[in-house]
Homo-oligomer: A and B are copies of this chain.
Amino acid sequence: MKLKAVLTQLAQAAKDASRTTAELPTSKKKNLLRDVAFRLKKSRRVLLRANELDLKAARHMRVPHAMMDRLMLNDERIAGMAKAVLDVARLADPVGRVLARWKRPNGLVISKVTVPLGVVLIIYESRPNVTSECASLCLASGNSVLLRGGREAFHSNRAIVEIYRRVLADYRVPQAAVSLVHRPERRGIDELVRMKNLITLAIPRGGERLMKRVERHARIPVVKHDKGICHVYVDRDADLKMALEIAFNAKCQRVGVCNAMETLLVHEAVAPKFLPILGERLAQAGCEMRGDERTRRYVKGIKKATDKDWDTEYLDRILSIRVVQSLNQAIAHIQKHGSAHTDSIVTRNRSAAEKFKAQVDSSSVMVNASTRFSDGNEYGFGAEIGISTDKIHARGPMGLEGLVSYKYIVEGSGQVRT
């Protein structure tokens, strides 16, 4: 069968299933998710075996270290995946919430009530736990989900989706409510994002090429989860010990993720003291540094940062560093080179913090904290569907609230408009 026909059938089945998921009672959704969590843990071996197939292929293709890290499952990550599903099951049902209710002078009573979106399409890569996070959040919000994971994680994703579908069958919910897009053709993405009567929202998570591809072909609404070029700015009034910990954590705690720091900005007043110590620590951790001219005075032997570096999301053990003359210059750098994802200032100066918070228009703006906290779980949303870099519908870490819409219910007693 032709690609378009296969995908249309898949999307139509997801839409049909969404009528059932939309009307699932809260308790049934919660029980279903708890069963999924239980089965994920119980299926440890199946998952690791599937993952090993993906890892083997990746090793064969010599994919970069950061991608291998994203792809890998282990006991800890499977346990984390199951826990994330339990966390979602514990959250309040986002469907059927009365957001507001008011009475108009003419007696009409208006209620604004949340409803599921319908069918959500997620396009993503590498990390298999994303598959489970997205499936659990979509089910919890009464949606069907089409999961278009990367080819490199195919076996892992299929094993995870199979667990969801077995539980769906147990609960007599159509299995098409959670579907993996099996066809690996890139062109499939173009077809899917055109299905405007079937898919309500597309969420592409990934790099620039994917975003451009989706932008070019989309006829349906899109909330982009684009790259994170995140900054930490070490102010002249920073607690340098705190700055050291935050900068090190933001870069090194996990490198293959969008909320890791890619560029460090350091005020010139503290650079001579701060940079040599940080440089040593990063070098010990095997992190490559690329600095502007002044940085290279304080951290010997590192590469020169080129213009391209300021606009690059490394997703790897690489950091670009620039010494700035002022808070204003730091903000201007972020406005010019940042991706409006997550940016952090380290300072003890209250007015510097206020200025940074007001003028940096990123989805998360932090004061004295690591950029790595920009995450649905860390914000207390349970798992996250991703981190939106758009300003429309949902911005920043996107949990259940981003997966519902609403309708107005207007109740009258015969009112007509005059």
If the complex has contacts A118-B391, A391-B118, A410-B373, are A246 and B365 also in contact, measured as CB distance less than 8 A? no
Question: B residues within 8 A CB of A392?
Answer: 117, 200-201, 221, 223, 392-393, 405
B357 lies within 8 A of A414 (CB): no
| Number of A residues with CB within 8 Å of any CB on chain B | 66
Question: B residues within 8 A CB of A246?
Answer: 414, 416
- Give the nearest-CB partner of A242 in chain B: B414
- Give the nearest-CB partner of A406 in chain B: B395
A408 lies within 8 A of B249 (CB): no
B378 lies within 8 A of A417 (CB): yes
A417 lies within 8 A of B372 (CB): yes
Question: B residues within 8 A CB of A411?
Answer: 353, 366-369
Complex: how many Å from CA A22 to CA B276?
40
If the complex has contacts A378-B104, A380-B104, A392-B201, are A370 and B407 also in contact, measured as CB distance less than 8 A? no
Residue A253, interface by CB 8 Å: yes
A residues 226-283 near B (Cβ < 8 Å) are 239, 242, 245-246, 248-250, 253
Write the A108-122 contact mask toward B (1 if CB under 8 angstroms, else 0). Answer: 101000010110000
If the complex has contacts A249-B416, A368-B413, A416-B245, are A395 and B407 also in contact, measured as CB distance less than 8 A? yes
If the complex has contacts A215-B219, A392-B223, A405-B395, are A367 and B245 also in contact, measured as CB distance less than 8 A? no
Write the A394-408 contact mask toward B (1 if CB under 8 angstroms, else 0). Answer: 011100000001111
- Give the nearest-CB partner of A196 in chain B: B215
A365 lies within 8 A of B417 (CB): no
Other-chain residue from B374, B409, B418 in contact with A410 (beta carbon distance below 8 A): B374
- Classify the secondary structure of A's interface with B: mixed
Complex: how many Å from CA A245 to CA B362?
51
Residue A216, interface by CB 8 Å: yes
B416 lies within 8 A of A370 (CB): yes
Question: B residues within 8 A CB of A253?
Answer: 416-418
Residue A284, interface by CB 8 Å: no
A408 lies within 8 A of B397 (CB): yes
Residue A171, interface by CB 8 Å: no
Question: B residues within 8 A CB of A368?
Answer: 411-415
| CB proximity of A332 to chain B, nearest CB, Å | 13
| CB proximity of A335 to chain B, nearest CB, Å | 10
If the complex has contacts A221-B390, A415-B373, A417-B372, are A407 and B367 also in contact, measured as CB distance less than 8 A? no
Complex: how many Å from CA A392 to CA B118?
11
Residue A363, interface by CB 8 Å: yes
Other-chain residue from B110, B200, B242 in contact with A391 (beta carbon distance below 8 A): B200
Write the A30-66 contact mask toward B (1 if CB under 8 angstroms, else 0). Answer: 0000000000000000000000000000000000000
B366 lies within 8 A of A412 (CB): yes
B222 lies within 8 A of A219 (CB): no
Other-chain residue from B362, B395, B408 in contact with A365 (beta carbon distance below 8 A): B408
| CB proximity of A252 to chain B, nearest CB, Å | 10
B215 lies within 8 A of A216 (CB): no
Question: B residues within 8 A CB of A374?
Answer: 408, 410
B416 lies within 8 A of A102 (CB): no
A interface residues, Cβ below 8 angstroms from B = 23, 102, 104, 108, 110, 115, 117-118, 196, 200-201, 215-216, 218-219, 221-223, 239, 242, 245-246, 248-250, 253, 353, 357-358, 361-370, 372-374, 378-380, 390-393, 395-397, 405-418
Closest A-B pairs by Cβ, 4 of them? A369-B412, A249-B416, A391-B405, A393-B393
- Identify 7 new A-B residue pairs, CB closer than 8 A, beyond the known A215-B219, A367-B411: A110-B380, A221-B222, A363-B407, A364-B409, A365-B410, A366-B410, A373-B412
